Amino acid sequence: EVQLVESGGGLVQPGGSLRLSCAASGFTFSNYWMTWVRQAPGKGLEWVANINQDGSEKYYVDSVKGRFTISRDSAKKSLYLQMNSLRAEDTAVYYCARDYAGYLDLWGRGTLVTVSS
């Protein structure tokens, strides 16, 4: 089955760190750009970061630059998001998605990150 499954979310204090993972299956992971998108409670979708097929290109929304790092492991068919110096405004459901020529054609179910003391 073609799917993406996120994990690693949870409750973290401001200033803390979390590492999200996204496991891909059912397709050739190394052929695709991959993307993280987040959705704060009651808000719209926000692109966070993306990475190209071999990990040599990485892009971030301004609000997370210097704090978040996207990476991938093709052998494990996995996408990651290392999140440091977390803030309350980072509270959101984080989705990983497959990027096909500029649109996101496959999404995971998401993992909730809550930043609170």
Partner 1 sequence: SYELTQPLSVSVALGQTATITCGGNNIGGRNVHWYQQKPGQAPALVIYRDSNRPSGIPERFSGSNSGNTATLTISRAQAGDEADYSCQVWDSFVVFGGGTKLTVL
Phi, psi (rounded to 5 degrees) for 30:
-70, -5
Q: Does 66 bind partner 1 (CB under 8 A)?
A: no
Residues 76 and 17: their CA atoms lie apart, in Å, by: 22
| Residue 20: alpha-carbon gap to chain centroid | 7
Q: Does 9 bind partner 1 (CB under 8 A)?
A: no
Read off the tokens for 117: 């003391």
Q: Which stretch binds partner 1 (CB under 8 A): 7-15, 23-31, 44-52, 76-84?
A: 44-52
Residues 71, 73, 78: CA angle, nearest 5 degrees: 85
Q: Which stretch binds partner 1 (CB under 8 A): 18-26, 42-50, 65-73, 74-82?
A: 42-50
Per CB under 8 A, contacts with partner 1 among 67-106 are 95, 99, 102-105
- Contacting residues toward partner 1, per CB under 8 A: 35, 37, 44-47, 50, 59, 61, 95, 99, 102-105, 107-110
